[in-house]
Amino acid sequence: MPPKPGLRSLIEAKAIRESVVANRPFPRWRDAKCLLDELISKDSETCPILVAGSTSFDFPAGTAMEDACQYIGTMLREVPGIALITGGMPGVGVSVGKAFASPTSLLFHVLPERCRIADPAEGLTMHLGHSFPERQSILGMATRIVCLIGGGP
């Protein structure tokens, strides 16, 4: 089945607009396209959702946040047509991804090239961008919905 015409054209239009506005080079858009092509090859009707947030649960409310991540991942797995994309870091992204993972789910983790963090066990890990800021740009280009849980590192 061919991809939705709206998804690809929306991504390409967004790529050109943001690349000009942010003065970013197009190679980052090629990386975002690699992610989208992989996603579309698995299911052309899917909606990519990015889940990101804290990289650890090592604080007083951490247990409650970890439980919330498990709940959110399980809940998202029940919604048809979703591809979950994370930044591949320990904490929120990997925890939600682990709860989301099933034999039929589309789960992608995106880490920077030459990143020394171990790839998550579930899902497909892609290495895109030379740094974490570039990886963040790629994730922003490739998703329409972002779910932020907690804060930074």
pTM: 0.77
Of 31-40, 79-88, 105-114, least confident by mean pLDDT is 31-40
Q: How confident is the model at residue 5 (pLDDT cuts 50, 70, 90)?
A: very low
| Cβ 52 vs Cβ 92: under 8 Å | yes
pLDDT score at 77: 93
- Say whether pLDDT at 135 is over 70: yes
Distances (CA, A) of 64 to 47, 61, 149: 28, 6, 12
Of 29-43, 84-98, 117-131, least confident by mean pLDDT is 29-43
Q: How confident is the model at residue 31 (pLDDT cuts 50, 70, 90)?
A: confident
| Cβ 148 vs Cβ 52: under 8 Å | yes
Question: Could you tell me what percent of the chain has a pLDDT over 70?
Answer: 80
